């Protein structure tokens, strides 16, 4: 499982002009299920992200987690995180999980974020989404599980 985590002041995702998910301060999490991901990958990734200390403490240092701040998560499926650009100019996506498996792992990840105690909103798997965000910092972290 692969994730691109962005600390945000706010973020939203729209499908066909309708807002399907939105948060205030917290994390926008673009997530991709990879071929061969074990069943426990979503829970492990969610625990790691919920405890990731990338929010400012009173001294201005990145020392607080999403759980510490009470921030929310907006989880968006993003199979293009599996892009292989090593050969030519057209990315390949063969390392991404098949759509059925990808959707199951994506839903399991969102549920695992909720189980961690994080208020979680989400995009719509497989949809053409428009994502807007105000990146705070900016802070953007790439994670592989």
Phi-psi region of 137 (alpha: psi -120 to 50; beta: other; left: phi over 0): left
Phi-psi sector, 46: left (phi>0), alpha (psi -120 to 50), beta: alpha
Which residue is catalytic, options 6, 55, 79, 109? 79
CB 74 within 8 A of CB 24: no
Alpha helix stretches (DSSP H) within the chain:
41-50, 66-69, 99-115
Is 130 a residue of the active site?
Answer: no
**Catalytic (active site) residue 116:** no
* Burial of 36 from C-beta contacts in 10 A (0-12 / 13-18 / 19+): exposed
Task: Label residues 123-145 b or e (16+ Cβ within 10 Å = b).
Answer: bbbeeebebebeebeeeeeeeeb
Active-site residue flag, 6: no
Q: List residues with catalytic annotation.
A: 78-80
């Amino acid at each position: 499982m692969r994730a691109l985590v962005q600390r945000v002041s706010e973020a939203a995702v729209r499908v066909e002009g309708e807002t399907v998910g939105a948060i205030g301060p917290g994390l926008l999490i673009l997530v991709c299920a990879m071929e061969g991901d074990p069943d426990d990958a979503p829970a492990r990734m969610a625990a790691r992200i919920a405890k990731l200390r990338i929010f400012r403490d009173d001294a201005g240092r990145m020392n607080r987690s999403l759980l510490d701040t009470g921030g929310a998560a907006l989880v968006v499926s993003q199979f293009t995180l599996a892009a292989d650009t090593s050969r030519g100019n057209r990315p390949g996506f063969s390392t991404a999980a098949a759509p059925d498996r990808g959707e199951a792992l994506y839903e399991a990840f969102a549920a695992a974020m909720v189980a961690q105690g994080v208020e979680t909103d989400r995009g719509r798997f497989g949809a053409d989404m428009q994502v807007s965000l105000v990146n705070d910092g900016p802070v953007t972290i790439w994670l592989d599980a």
